[in-house]
Every structure is written in structure tokens, then in C-alpha cells.
Structure 1
Amino acid sequence: MTRRATMRRATAKDAADLAGVARATFTETFGMLYSAADLATFLEQHTPEDWAREIADPAYSVAVVEEGHIVVGYVKLGPPRLPFTPKEGAIELRQFYLLQPWQGAGMGPKMMEWALEEARARGMREMYLSVFVDNERARRFYAKYEFKDVGRYAFMVGDHEDTDIVMRRAL
């Protein structure tokens, strides 16, 4: 089946859909790694209210990926909050997710180009992201875009501690 997803900037009307896709993509990608309690605690942070607040905040940029009028993924940029002291002019690629049926259909590069162009348009000089140490597919994807490993940190899902790799690239 051919996928014909498109991208556009998120609006407040997308908040509930983004919250649902955020929970669904995280669960299908990582849900098997955690207890039900840890996963539920983590997913509580993806509420429509939180999404609406970030969409309205000019420090964030969010793009939705949709097929027809169904949201199937998203990209979110925001102020760095990883455990390091970024230089001025840094932005974080906070989230980059597509539901599994749309993965491998060519949207990943479009999403990354949007993120890089958006960061440059904001005058940013470098972009950071974090990726689960065992997520080899994502790590290879980011390496294609010249992101380099610059450290590790503990990423918490409920009470469960994972190791994430922090990656950086100059813009």
C-alpha cells in the first residue's frame, strides 16, 4: 500500500491528536521494555493540554505528519533540556516519531529536513537530540544527517532508568 503522508505546522486543534500519536508511537516502539506502571507514568506527560501549551509557545516548533486528516507522526523542536549546558544558539530535536505503518515510506527525510530548516530559520547554530542506546535504526538515521555522539545520560520512564545517547550537529 502506498503511503501519501504530508507535513504541516501544528495548530492548537492538533493537540489531542498529537497526544494520542505520542502515546501510540512511544508504546509501539518501546512499550515492551517497561512495566505497565512505568509506561503509564511516562505516558501521562502526553496530554492534549501539554501539547496545546507547547504549540502556543514560540520557543517550540511542531510539525504534524498526516495522511488525509489523520495524524500519523510529528516532529517537535524546543529549548534544550538535556543534562548539559548548551551554547547559545542551540535547539533540541525533542521528538521525532512516525507510526510504524508509515516508517520506511520516505517521510523520515522530509521530517528531518523540516527540523533542520526550521532550526536554521530560527538562527540556531547547533541541534541536539537524544536516542535510546539500543535504537540502532534511529542512530543510523541520525548519523546520516551528521549527528555525532557527544555523551550519555539517564532517561527515565517511570522508575526505570535507560541510557540515552546525546547527539549533536552543527547547523
Structure 2
Amino acid sequence: MTRYRDGELADAEALDRIFRTSFCDTFAHLYKDEDLQAFLGSFGLEDWRSELRDPSYAFRIAEVDGEPVGYVKLGPMALPVETAATGMDLKQFYILKEHHGAGIAQELMDWALVEARRRGIEELYLTVYVDNHRARRFYHRYGFEAVGRYDFMVGNHPDEDTIMRKKL
């Protein structure tokens, strides 16, 4: 059974585990080991705890049989876009691969859109790797549109990402 709940301070280790596992399962093959290790080392447990304490962030966690298996993280705008609208970034969206296709992504995205609207957000932004076709299709289904290019740095390796926006 899948249950959804808001993230809490005690979730820092679980979020870190899901992030590292999902990121590496999906992207590790693209990078030199030193770039991947530099990237993974740039954000640790204390960073998670800081964000979990910060009311400008919002986390929603999916649990299967009491075990966290995915999450979505919303946070303050940091992407290089010009807008007069009130914006927020969908900063991370990760689900362990063995739980893909179970409807978790839809539930988490539905929550993210409701939460952003609840906060008075007019535009939600995210970045997605240009060759992550599965994620791009998912975001398109929710009405996100490409609005720019972004270099997502993994160590010294720049990934070409697409900035996407959804008007709320």
C-alpha cells in the first residue's frame, strides 16, 4: 500500500538515500567518477535538514509498506528566468526505479501543483536533462512547456537541461 505524507526533519536520511540511488541509477553512466562524486558530495544530510526546516521548501514523500520510495521537493526560485509572475522551482522529483509505473509520480505531481497554488504561485519551473525522454513526456502531460536551456553541473561536467514552466 502506498501512503503519502509531508516531509519531516527525520526524513533527511531517507531523502538522501532516494536521491542518490535514483540519480545514480538514471545518470551515473554519463559521468566520470570524479565528477559524480563531486556532485554527490556537494549536498549532505545537514543540507537536507536545513531545507526540511525552511518553510520556503515543501516536501511530499511516497511510502510503500512504511518505507520511503519517492519524493518531490518544491523550493524558492533559483533558475535563470525572467518573469513578473510569482514563481517557484520544482527542485527534485525522484522515485526508486522499482516503483516506476505504480502511479506514484502522478500523485506526487498532483500534490506539487496543489501546494504551489496554495502558496499563491503563478508559475512552476523545473529543469530536465534533454535526453531524459521519459521525464520530458511526463512533464509535457502536465502542461509544462520548454522555455529555455540550462547547464546543470555534475562536478565539472555540464549537462544540457531544458527549463520548463507550467503556468498555474
TM-score by length of 1: 0.95
Q: Is the 8 A contact 1:80 1:86 kept in 2?
A: no
Q: Is the 8 A contact 1:12 1:56 kept in 2?
A: yes
User: Partner of 1:64 in structure 2?
Assistant: 61
User: 1:78-126 deviations in whole A, cap 9, x for unaligned?
Assistant: 0111122343410110001100000111111101000000000001111
Q: CA deviation at 1:71?
A: 1.2
List gaps (5 residues or longer) in structure 2.
Answer: none
User: Partner of 1:35 in structure 2?
Assistant: 32
Is 1:44 the counterpart of 2:41? The answer is yes
User: Partner of 2:12 in structure 1?
Assistant: 15
Distance 2:5 2:43 in 1: 20
* Identity, % of aligned positions: 46
Alignment of 1:93-104 (within 5 A): 93-104=90-101
Aligned-residue Cα RMSD (Å) equals: 1.0
User: Partner of 1:158 in structure 2?
Assistant: 155
Q: CA deviation at 1:21?
A: 1.1
Distance 1:164 1:138 in 2: 12
Distance 2:142 2:5 in 1: 21
Q: CA deviation at 1:70?
A: 1.4
SS at match of 2:11: helix
Is 1:127 the counterpart of 2:124? The answer is yes
Is 1:24 the counterpart of 2:25? The answer is no
Distance 2:84 2:36 in 1: 33
Distance 2:10 2:66 in 1: 12
List gaps (5 residues or longer) in structure 1.
Answer: none
Q: What is the aligned counterpart of 2:110 among 103, 108, 113?
A: 113
SS at match of 2:79: coil
SS at match of 1:105: coil
SS at match of 2:82: coil
User: Partner of 2:139 in structure 1?
Assistant: 142
